[in-house]
């Protein structure tokens, strides 16, 4: 069972790696057998290698600017977070912000399951591959 402080630290580790555009540190937050679910992925992505391809594609289109976490709740090994992300489109330089929530399940300090909730129309205005924050 994660404490609130442990959950915040694990979430912040991922958030910081994403903001620093450090794919090695970012992907090191995920278990090899992880699953990623978002409004754009049905069926879900399974495995860190599949998720790494999404992260690489996203990085081609946008660069992270902000990742503000407003609320974090913990239930056993599950962390729920409400957040706002801002990215900048690499081609146009235009910033874009959207709100979302995530449900992360952890095992041994690594994310095994991640599910995001956000409005796909919000993200479509930025770039087709902007998610993966």
Q: Are 31 and 37 in contact (CB under 8 A)?
A: no
Label residue 36 by pLDDT band (50, 70, 90).
Answer: very high
**Average pLDDT score over the chain:** 92
Residue 130: the pLDDT is: 52
Higher-scoring residue by pLDDT: 21, 124: 21
Residue 133: the pLDDT is: 59
Label residue 121 by pLDDT band (50, 70, 90).
Answer: confident
Residue 41 has pLDDT above 90, yes or no: no
Q: What CATH topology corresponds to 4-124?
A: Nuclear Transport Factor 2; Chain: A, (3.10.450)
Mean pLDDT on 85-103: 94
CA torsion sign for 25, 96, 49, 43 is positive
Cα atoms found within 13 Å of the Cα of residue 44, Cβ hemisphere only: 14
Residue 63: the pLDDT is: 96
Give the distance from CA 111 to its chain's centroid.
Answer: 11
Q: Look up residue 2 and give its DSSP letter.
A: -
């Amino acid at each position: 069972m994660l404490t609130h402080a442990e959950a915040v630290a694990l979430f912040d580790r991922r958030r910081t790696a994403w903001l620093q555009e450090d794919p090695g540190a970012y992907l090191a937050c995920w278990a090899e057998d992880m699953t990623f679910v978002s409004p754009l992925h049905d069926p879900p992505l399974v495995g860190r290698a599949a998720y790494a391809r999404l992260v690489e594609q996203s990085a081609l289109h946008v660069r992270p600017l902000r990742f503000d976490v407003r609320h974090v709740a913990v239930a056993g090994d599950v962390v729920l977070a409400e957040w706002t992300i801002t990215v900048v489109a690499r081609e146009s330089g235009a910033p874009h912000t959207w709100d979302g929530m995530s449900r992360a399940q952890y095992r041994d300090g690594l994310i095994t399951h991640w599910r995001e909730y956000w409005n796909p129309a919000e993200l479509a205005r930025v770039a087709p591959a902007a998610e993966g924050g």
